[in-house]
Amino acid sequence: MIKALMSLWVSFVMLFVSFVPGYVAPENKNTSGKTYPYIFVHGFLGWGGDEGIDADFPYWGATSCHLISNLREEGYECYDASVGPLSSNWDRACELYAQLTGTRVDYGAAHSAKCNHLRYGRTYDEPLIENWGELDENGLMNKVNLIGHSFGGNTVRMLAALLADGSAEEIAATDPDDISPLFTGGKSDYINTVVAVCSPNNGSTMKYVLNNLKLIEPTLILVYTYVGVMGRSFANGYVDFHLEQFGLSEVPGEGDANQTIIKSIKTIMQQEYDNIAYDLSPDGAQAFNEKVDLKDDIYYFSYPFRTTFNVPLLNTEFPLPSTLAVLQLTAMAEGVYSVNLDTSYKLDKSWLPNDGLVNVVSASYPFGDAHKDYDPDNIETGIWNVMPLSRGDHGSAIGIGTDEESVMEFYNGMLTMIESLPVTS
């Protein structure tokens, strides 16, 4: 009884705690003075800096500030990329690579044939990062730091994995003179750090909750219909849907969707695995995790958030009052869902704590990967350095409903820590 009362008291105190990041940055061990650009990658339903909506409501910073602009003013070289807000992890990684290199998006001959969509997407005339993957005048590699929020964390992991290992399927299906360098491997030294903030490394149980309620398919049809209409209208470009490979939207400023909306929706709905719903499920995340591994020359960091508290007598999780209103119901739903009624994937009560969309156990590290708690005096490559749990929800991690000071403290701490890392060969 005493333990239960103490737990209840702690829970009551934490009811009024909002976004609380906290960790100690290590002393600077980067003696070379070499720094790398930061590439910020948005998550599900997000957008990048080249879309019109970002000027009115930036994804990074949201209601608190324009985070990318603020970080640039402080001397950091930062870019916020734009990839498909509803696309699969594979497609998003291909789009990110094309932006970074200033090339045409190549989804792969094998992948596009299997998934019944166009192999090539739009062309980026200028690289986001000049001389990426080349040696500088001191013989050091020009790398990038990849930072992904939510599903963006999965996307940067996918990009790092493809750069390092390539794709055996694409190599087998493509003429050597016609294959994208993304699929040939041998480029793990292009990446300095992979950072996953509130990322569903092991998927999210919200996929199961929605599926049990029979909401996945009708929601997708509704969303794709919206994309098909808006993606062919004057509003295309204000938000960029990046679904021209399915003919569902047009390339902003170019037009020419290649088939009817109904046909495009039928095509994309038939994709069992090339869609974001599958990739966000624990089953889809498990399939992805089994195909990728950690690289010895890359630093990995994960930043889990938690916006729920345990109710001892019920042994469930309830959202804090400070949780965004739009996430109250989802946080509560995930806080009681510990028995999977959807697939054979095993769950337990460790999945209950969450940030409103992503389970803490999923945001901490991919199952099966080497990991350890963050130690500022011993940051290693080739292992997930799991940062201390931040008190906040999925939105507060990017500045929704919180103040500029807290957001800047969080990201300044992150970038200061990354700048301190010894440069790898």
Out of 91, 106, 279, 355, pick the active-site residue.
355
pLDDT beneath 50, residues of the chain: 1-17
pLDDT for the residue numbered 193? 97
Which of 112, 394, 396, 406 is flagged as catalytic?
A: 394
Choice among 64, 87, 150, 396 that is catalytic: 150
- Domain 34-419 fold: Rossmann fold (3.40.50)
User: In this predicted structure, what is the pLDDT of residue 189?
Assistant: 95
User: Residue 27 contacts by C-beta under 8 Å, 6 or more apart in sequence?
Assistant: 376, 420
Which residue type sits at 245? Q
DSSP for 170-239?
A: HHHHS-TTTS-GGGS---GGGEEEEEEES--TT--THHHHHHHTT-HHHHHHHHHHHHHHHTTSTTBTTB
- Predicted local confidence at residue 344, as pLDDT: 92
150 is catalytic: yes
pLDDT of residue 166: 97
Domain residue spans in the chain? 34-419
pLDDT tens for residues 97-156?
A: 999 999 999 999 999 999 999 999 999 999 999 999 999 888 889 999 999 999 999 999
pLDDT number for residue 4? 41
Closest residue by Cα to residue 35 from 78, 87, 73: 78
Determine the pLDDT at residue 314.
86
- Residue 320: phi and psi, rounded to 5, are -65, 150
Joined together, the tokens standing for residue 325 give 């209103």
Catalytic status, residue 66: no
Give exposure, 238-255, as e/b (b: 16+ Cβ within 10 Å).
Answer: bbbbbbbbbbbbbbbeee
d(CA 260, CA 228): 9
DSSP 299-364: EEEEE-EE-EEEETTTTEEEE-TTS-HHHHHHHHHHTT--S-SSSS----GGG--BSSSSBHHHHH
pLDDT at 308: 97
Tokens 């301190």 belong to residue: 420
- Residue 31: what pLDDT? 63
pLDDT of 19 reads: 60
Q: What integer pLDDT is reported at residue 243 of this predicted model? A: 93
